[in-house]
Copies of this chain bind each other. A is one copy, B any other.
Amino acid sequence: MTVHLGRRYGFPAAHRLYSHLLDEEQNRALFGKCANPYGHGHNYEFELDLRGPVDPVTGRAADLPALDAMVEREILSVFRHTNLNDLPPFRETVPTTENLAVEVLKLLKKAWPAEPALGQVVLEKVRIWETERNICELSA
């Protein structure tokens, strides 16, 4: 029996929407107030969609404490209480929700193989809420 699991986390962070490939005026036309030089911020929420068989002994499809520890180490401790623009992956790219989802997924896929406890669990999607009305989802 295979099930899908959703596991949800959150972190607050700042960002500024500003592309170094565009000039001031173009950035302002594109991003409006979101391009102001000092940034603004959000309470980001994100959810991982996982797939795996239910273990007949434990009744579980994933070792959630192991997953939580990995997500804390690889994602939450990296992004929580930061300004995204100040982090290496967003020095060159704009920290939109789209690029944040790409980065979160990249970090998780890199860390996954080193987690034997997640052996049979497949990461299917990453979904990020910038606000409750603005969502980005990326398939693994």
Contact = CB atoms under 8 A, between A and B. Distances in A.
A136 B65 contact: no
Contacts of A40: 12-14, 41, 80-83
Contacts of A41: 12-15, 39-43, 83
Contacts of A82: 33, 36, 38, 40
Interface in A35-73: 36-43, 47, 54, 56-61, 64-65
Interface of A: 1, 3-9, 12-15, 17, 19, 21-22, 30, 32-34, 36-43, 47, 54, 56-61, 64-65, 80-83, 85-86, 93-96, 98-99, 101-102, 131-139
